[in-house]
Structure 1
Amino acid sequence: MKLYYSPGACSLSPHIVLCEADLPFELIKVDLQEKLTETGEDFRSINPNGYVPVLELDDGSNLTEGPAIIQYLADRVPEKKLAPPVGTFEHYNLQQWLNFISTELHKTFSPLFNANMPDQAKKLFRETLASRFKWVADNVVAQPYLLGNDFSVADAYLFVILRWAELMSIDISRWPSLVQYKKRIADRPAVKRALQEEGLSTD
């Protein structure tokens, strides 16, 4: 498999999951500004939408959209317990978290990365994110991971979003449980490996 990624982007989530799953893969870096891969290929020929991640399977087919990719990877290695079995309540709880992270957190960050977005608008998005982070923090007060005692693909996704908070001057220290949660995930060997492979700080 090949993972098309940009350092620190949402593609870090499937990168972490690939490391957790111990699956063989090749990393291909993408310049999102120029829309070129590190080998000079037009990235839009791979994903017409022009954004990462893209997971190219061994048969040449492509998967896009992070939540779909990490669910696919988890299903490839059920013994790793990166996602609860289909049909269980826990499986749908995972889907609930993936949808929440994708729509309520990930997409709310998008305007903050837009240089043309007015500061007043960014202030409103930061306030929305703060209310969402508080809700997440309340959910990890009494348990180590989003689904309880087991790390899941949702935790990999949320970890990436929490890294963005620091970049966008959103102080999560007001929620101690969230700080501890982020550190717990950052300390996982697979997470450290993915960060190192993307040239990112592991602190």
Structure 2
Amino acid sequence: MTEISQHETVLDSDQQQVGGLYAKALLAAAGDSVDHIVGEFEAVVKECLDTHPNLEQALSSPRITQEQKESMLDRIFNGRINGTLLNFIKILCRRGRIDSLRAIQVTSKLLREEQLGKTRVSVTSAQPLNDDQRHQIAERLRQAYGREAVLVESVDAGLMGGIVLKIGDQVLDGSASGKLDSLKSAVTDGVQRAIRDRYESLLSN
């Protein structure tokens, strides 16, 4: 199954340093539950902190005691998330690192992907990709590089039907060792068919 991330988070050097330190500690403590905990950590950020910013402000506030913060965390998360993750968030509160929580979450996910032999690939296309196109991209990349791809998608209408793939600083296109020629053609043909079908539909109305 192809993994998809719609937006790639950019971290500054300080965030990367703190994120790396704590993310490694979390992964080491997670044991056999590591994938479950990494997934729950992302859910805590996206479904709780992003939607309830007052919670993050309270956990960062010097006016609220550590006991009050931990009690708040227990009321919200106890029995709902893994105990190791809950204790980890409490430790971040004690050390005044809640402001780095997002960086730690992003880094923990990236480190786990590396452990599993996965590669993040930025995919920029003229139109949003469909499932078949995602599958083609992931399969071609697996054949070419021998690793599972995690696609980070973005749309740029200025590409006029083309696609650009980036792995780190490397830009991949249809000329990359000849391995992605059919991929580029397949995606471009799909976009052209969609435009033609829409045009024909407008003419028939």
TM-score, normalization by structure 1: 0.23
Which is higher, the Rg of structure 1 or of structure 2?
A: 2
Higher helix share: 2
